[in-house]
Amino acid sequence: MTAPVVLLEHPVDGVALIRLNRPDARNALNMEVRRQLAKHVADATDDPAIRCIIFTGGDKVFAAGADIKEMAEAGSIEMMQRGAFKLWRATAASHKPVIAAVNGFAVGGGCELAMCADIIIAGESARFGQPEVKIGITPGGGGTQRLTRAVGKFNAMRICLTGDMFSAAQMQAMGVVSEIVPDAETEKRAVALAQQIAELPPLAVQQIKEIILAGEDGSLEEGLRLEAKAIQLMFSSQDQKEGMAAFIEKRKPKFQGK
């Protein structure tokens, strides 16, 4: 039986770790990888025991972009019929928090996959880029859109128009990387952060993610209205009562997602 090109692991309770597993191809994102990614994300999202999701790759490569050999001779109709856009959308659609743990190269589709996450933990040697222009195409998995929202027009133009590589420190300065750690600590740190989030009230966590993402593309007034509705909604949850009671009683709360 062919080994799966994406692995689903559970390093600690409440956390699903999705690992790219094509080391011989530098974790290139062929269609099978994209399908398995989307399925694992959907399964983890639907699993009530999972409260946080991690994307990761290997020690030297997170993901070295799309599989060029798979698409080099394709025509535009074939590319449309492959449905890669739907798989990208499905991969980014989880309402649960997602952390990307990035070591080595995260370029092209690999950079776009990292940007599907909500938090990016990068090893010191991580390298990011959108080099599609160098092979005659444009980014196709969010590289022009998510990147622009993260770093602004002028930085996005520089990254996409040059195809250059950028260090973890440079990407952190531009607002893409959340935290930089030694390479050997990247996955460990991502798991610890995921566990921390998984222990928090999942309804509140879900609402925070939802209103940040929804407010990102709307006006300040619309975002503030969403925020107000979200906090009002939380007062119907058992977790709100438990959290405030635990605070008053000076004990650790037990959140159940209710």
pTM of the model: 0.93
Is residue 167 in a domain? yes
Q: What is the pLDDT of residue 131?
A: 95
Residue numbers of the domain that contains 206: 202-249
State the CATH number of the domain containing residue 192: 3.90.226.10
1 pLDDT higher than 50? no
pLDDT tens-digit series, residues 130-169: 999 999 989 989 999 999 999 999 999 999 999 999 999 9
**Average pLDDT in the chain:** 93
Are residues 220 and 182 part of one domain?
no
Are residues 233 and 154 part of one domain?
no
Length of the chain: 258
Q: How much is the average pLDDT of 120-128?
A: 97
Are residues 159 and 223 part of one domain?
no
Are residues 217 and 170 part of one domain?
no
pLDDT tens-digit series, residues 51-77: 999 999 999 999 987 777 777 777 888
Q: With pLDDT > 90 as the criterion, what percentage of the chain qualifies?
A: 80
Are residues 143 and 211 part of one domain?
no
Are residues 154 and 212 part of one domain?
no
Is residue 256 in a domain? no
Are residues 160 and 228 part of one domain?
no
Are residues 142 and 194 part of one domain?
yes
Structure tokens at 56: 């990761």
pLDDT tens-digit series, residues 240-255: 999 999 999 999 999 9
Instruction: Please give the positions annotated as active site.
Output: 66, 109, 112, 132
Is residue 79 in a domain? yes
Are residues 235 and 141 part of one domain?
no
Are residues 212 and 193 part of one domain?
no
Overall number of domains in the chain? 2
Are residues 165 and 44 part of one domain?
yes
The helix-helix angle for 238-249 and 202-216 (nearest 10°) equals 110
State the CATH number of the domain containing residue 218: 1.10.12
CB atoms within 10 A of CB 142: 22
Three-state secondary structure string covering the chain: CCCCCEEEECCCCCEEEEEECCHHHCCCECHHHHHHHHHHHHHHHHCCCCCEEEEECCCCEEEECECHHHHCCCCHHHHHHHCHHHHHHHHCCCCCCEEEEECCEEECHHHHHHCCCCEEEEECCCEEECHHHHHCCCCCCCCCCHHHHHHCHHHHHHHHHHCCEEEHHHHHHHCCCCEEECHHHHHHHHHHHHHHHHCCCHHHHHHHHHHHHHHHCCCHHHHHHHHHHHHHHHCCCHHHHHHHHHHHHCCCCCCCCC
